[in-house]
Amino acid sequence: MDIENLLQELNESQRKAVEYNDGPSLVIAGAGSGKTRVLTYKIAYLLNLGLPPHNILSLTFTNKAAREMKARVGQLMGESVARRLWMGTFHSIFSRILRTEAEKIGFTSNFTIFDSADSRNLIKTIIKEYQLDDKTYKPARIQAMISNAKNALVSPVAYAQSKEMQEYDMKAKIPMVRDIYRSYNARLQASNTMDFDDLLYYTNRLFRDHPEVLKTYQDRFQFILVDEYQDTNFAQYLVVKQLADAHHRVCVVGDDAQSIYSFRGANIDNILNYKSNYPEARIFKLEQNYRSTQNIVNAANSLIKQNKGQIQKNVFSENQVGEKLEVASAFSDFEEGIIVANKIQDLRRSKDSSYSDFVILYRTNAQSRVFEESLRKKNIPYRIYGGLSFYQRKEIKDVIAYFRMVVNPKDEEAFKRIINYPTRGIGNTTVGKIVDTAQLHNLSLWETIGDPLAHNLNVNTGTAKKLNDFHTLIDGFIKELPVASAYELATKIVKESGIAREAYQDQTPEGMSRQENLQELLGGIHEFCESRLEEGEQNIGLIDFLSEVSLLSDQDTDKEVEQEKVTMMTIHASKGLEFKNVFVVGLEEDLFPSSMTKSEPKGLEEERRLFYVAITRAEQFCMLTYAKSRFRNGQTNSCNPSRFLKDIDREFLNANAGVLEGTMGGFSQQTQGNFWDTVRRNREEKEELQEVKRKEESIFERPQIPVSREDKYSKPNFVNARNAEPKTPLTKDIYGIQVGAVIKHERFGIGTVSAIEGDAASRKATVEFENAGVKQLLLKFARFDIIG
């Protein structure tokens, strides 16, 4: 595409931001101001200047963001160019670097990655080994402390030496944290594993301790772009700084008003103080909001004004003035659900909207339940994002643990997970002995069972045989690793480990669903191999699959709005999305803002930014609701409306009399299991149910779109939903390809698209190639250019 045409699609400030590339720059991108557009066009611009794609590094926070950006650059500049960009999450790019340089930091390239559950388990074991009380040393808390330390690049040694930290721990009566931290890190290293934070931490160490390595990467990454810069933590900030030190060609994009991840170590000062780090930096502000009505933008502005210490900006909209934000109060959380469901139904009829134009946003996942009920009763189809993701389910984690064990036999948590799964008569007592022996001889658990006699492992002959069988089993898989494809080996593992047999014996509904999940996982691996093959790669082994899935997260699941379904998600998960109609629910003190954050002003400001993010998702209509009583933790509590409601200028709100009264002041009293509440609740529920029954009895009103509970769980990107909806043929597609298009594939040559199907994450095109016959291409992976 011609670069001049491209620049014409930008407004003045966007274009200036795109065109300036002589030094560091900071782009402050207000909500809905075309941030992604600036990033992608900038990359296109750089490519057009002649910078090769492999010299551009572009960092994001989610795989999804990276994928989308890649696709958009692909549309502008061609797939084959986009493919060569270094574009990905901090974690995935760094893990790639660390694998090549693993030996320099005391790991080997096949290191595996602990998820947070693994980390917590290891911390738990260590706390036990130190014979500490896990009520004083709460694993979750220790985990957070260690994570913070790593994100601040504080090593275990530095931690122990830091006067400040030691004093804090003494005061908190947890002086052993430093020892736990030390052991934890040692154990990770001994088992050749890294936790998420390590990926950032060790990249920093690598660059600090090996200037020649740093130099290589500085030379490679001639231009660096960072998305969502307000969410970077110290470790991320410093890596970027080190990489950019040589040439200062770095562009960071973000919005301080949307910084909502400080609990994960994100430091808003990185963006606020950018100028002092790069005094010569140019700052560009994108202030025109193209997404929302003026009322929505103004309401959001009036809210965020209450925060101190922001980058001065004037976000404005030239769209319609639009409706005011509607505020509603409900007697109970239950009624809140009904109000929202009714409103959705009304709006859908009056505005002729689709269900997919609606989103319900809440502070905590637990709130989704009531809305599930109220929507279901009205036969409104919905989809929930978040909650347990596919890879967090037990049966999937078990299989993945086998994979990890085969790729990296030293992986301690993987070992513990599968040593007795499926049950093979090796219980806690034996595992305890193995752990003790391993520690004594400074070995991994795997090495210990490899030669029990030599290490005086004190088990009876029966157990020794069982251990030996296990060792032989895994060893067999390990031997296959270099020769078998990921799919072949995965299938073999599921079969021969006995997982398949166990799953088939279980005929309960849960058992059946587990079988399906296993099938789905294998199907996903198959697809993964196929698509990589299509890309021209060879020998796609288990290790390739594993390194990809370990860094997938809920945020990466396809959030593309599904046809005709209301969306529900946490506000955090909604970042970057937009909807015509937004419902922000549960606006109550101690829920939003959460009681956990209220102790310090910083926490409160972050909650306010979260609310800002929620409101600015809306294009046309936004409703804010709260309940006067809420069922939580098994009891009904009365609650007060959120103070945030008062932060919005009244002129942008449409609230019935009394709705905004009672904000602040007074304490929430606990009305334990209020009798009348329960009575009313039951009655309401009954009435609603009768209503539903009546409808169901009338054939004509039978709902057309069933709500599937399965949708509750997010699916991994490359795994096709087993019981996916009937595939509706699509004519045009986000990848810019359509039926009838002529494409040029890297390997198959020229062909014509004859069909497109599947949902965005796993969308496939059937292509009739001139010379290569008919092929199915997974659009996400396939490498081709559209030529006609």
Partner DNA sequence: ATCCACTAGGTTTTT
Partner DNA sequence: CCTAGTGGAT
Write out the catalytic residue numbers.
35-36, 227-228, 258, 617
**717, 761 Cβ separation under 8 angstroms:** yes
CB of 588 to DNA, least distance (A): 13
How far apart, in whole angstroms, are the C-alpha atoms of residue 354 and residue 368? 21
33 is in an annotated binding site: yes
Long-range contacts from 762-771, C-beta under 8 angstroms, 24+ separation? 762/527, 762/717, 762/718, 762/719, 762/720, 763/730, 763/733, 763/734, 763/735, 765/733, 765/737, 767/743, 769/745
Q: Closest CB to DNA among 632 and 695? A: 632
Tokens of residue 124, six digits: 């738990």
Taking the CB of residue 79, how many other CB atoms lie within 10 A of it?
24
- Which residues are 317's β-sheet partners? 289
Q: Which residues bind DNA (CB under 7 A)?
A: 61-62, 89-91, 116, 124, 135, 138, 140, 147, 196-197, 260, 263-264, 363-366, 386, 420, 423-430, 463, 553-556, 570, 572-573, 594, 596-597, 632-634
Q: Closest CB to DNA among 551 and 765? A: 551
Q: Closest CB to DNA among 570 and 762? A: 570
**261, 36 Cβ separation under 8 angstroms:** no
Closest CA to 233 of 310, 148, 113, 164: 148
CB of 470 to DNA, least distance (A): 12
Phi, psi of 137 (to 5 degrees): -100, 80
In angstroms, what CA-CA distances link 136 with 132, 169, 177, 382, 548? 8, 12, 11, 42, 37
CB of 265 to DNA, least distance (A): 8
- Describe the crossing of helices 234-244 and 211-220 by its angle, rounded to 10 degrees: 80
35 is in an annotated binding site: yes
Phi, psi of 372 (to 5 degrees): -55, -50
32 is in an annotated binding site: yes
Burial code of 143-164, b = ≥16 C-beta within 10 A, e = fewer?
bebbbbbbbbbbebeebbeeee
CB of 634 to DNA, least distance (A): 3
CB of 146 to DNA, least distance (A): 11
The angle at the Cα of 274, spanning 273 to 278, to the nearest 5 degrees, equals: 125
Q: Closest CB to DNA among 89 and 485? A: 89
Taking the CB of residue 696, how many other CB atoms lie within 10 A of it?
12
**593, 642 Cβ separation under 8 angstroms:** yes
How far apart, in whole angstroms, are the C-alpha atoms of residue 236 and residue 199? 10
CB of 452 to DNA, least distance (A): 14
Q: Closest CB to DNA among 366 and 689? A: 366
CB of 785 to DNA, least distance (A): 30
662 is in an annotated binding site: no
Q: Closest CB to DNA among 502 and 757? A: 502
* DSSP states of 4-71: HHHHHTS-HHHHHHHH--SS-EEEEE-TTS-HHHHHHHHHHHHHHTT--GGGEEEEESSHHHHHHHHH
The half-sphere exposure of 243 on its side-chain side, counting CA atoms within 13 A, is 28
Question: H-helix or E-strand containing 494?
Answer: helix 486-496
Largest alpha-carbon pair distance within the chain? 81
Q: Closest CB to DNA among 260 and 299? A: 260
Radius of gyration of the chain (CA): 28
36 is in an annotated binding site: yes
Q: Closest CB to DNA among 635 and 690? A: 635
Closest CA to 541 of 479, 497, 494, 495: 479
Q: Closest CB to DNA among 75 and 143? A: 143
- Describe the crossing of helices 461-480 and 428-441 by its angle, rounded to 10 degrees: 70
Task: Name the binding residues for ATP.
Answer: 29-36
Task: Name the binding residues.
Answer: 29-36
